[in-house]
């Protein structure tokens, strides 16, 4: 093999590795954004729970936050 061929192959390998790294970083970024969103929801819920003595309001907001965190359309809360 000539030096030019080896260099071309090395550059191709490096491009492929960079693309794989980029895809991995994009996936990690998406996961971090999802975690950040969930933490914001939990923080907001914590503030709501500590800011009101109105049980019905707190109960409604807690079930709304649970639905949001679980990515579902509705939720319910069972209290014992």
pTM given for the model: 0.63
Give dist(CA 80, CA 75) in Å, integer.
17
Give dist(CA 53, CA 46) in Å, integer.
13
Instruction: Identify the band that residue 1 occupies on the pLDDT scale cut at 50, 70 and 90.
Output: low
Q: 17-33: per-residue pLDDT in tens?
A: 999 999 999 999 999 99
């Amino acid at each position: 093999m000539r030096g030019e061929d080896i260099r071309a192959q090395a550059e191709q390998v490096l491009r492929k590795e960079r693309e794989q790294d980029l895809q991995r970083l994009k996936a990690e970024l998406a996961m971090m954004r999802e975690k950040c969103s969930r933490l914001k929801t939990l923080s907001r819920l914590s503030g709501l729970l500590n800011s009101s003595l109105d049980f019905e309001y707190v109960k409604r907001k807690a079930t709304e936050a649970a639905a949001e965190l679980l990515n579902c359309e509705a939720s319910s809360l069972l209290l014992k």
